Structure 1
Amino acid sequence: FDGFFDLEYIPVPNYEPRVGGVWGMLGHQRALRSQVIKQADIVMLMALLGDAVGSREVMLNNWHTYYPRTDHGSSLSPAVHAWVAARLGLMEDAIYMFDHAAAIDLEDNKGNVRDGIHGAASGGLWQAVVFGFCGLHLKDGELALDPHLPPHWRWVKFSVYYRGERREFLVENPVLVAQA
Structure 2
Amino acid sequence: MTTPERSPTALVPRGTDDDDLEVIAWGGPAGEWLETTVAVRPSPNLEYFIRTMHREGMRPMPHGAGISLDGSIQGAARTAVMDLFLSAIPPEEPRPESIEVVEEAMGRAAELGDQVLNRDVWTLHQLHVDDRVFALLVLRVPEGFAAVADIGPCFVGAYGRSQPPAWRCTFRSAAELHSSL
TM bucket normalised to smaller:
under 0.3
Larger strand share, 1 or 2: 2
TM-score by length of 1: 0.27
| Greater Rg over alpha carbons, structure | 1
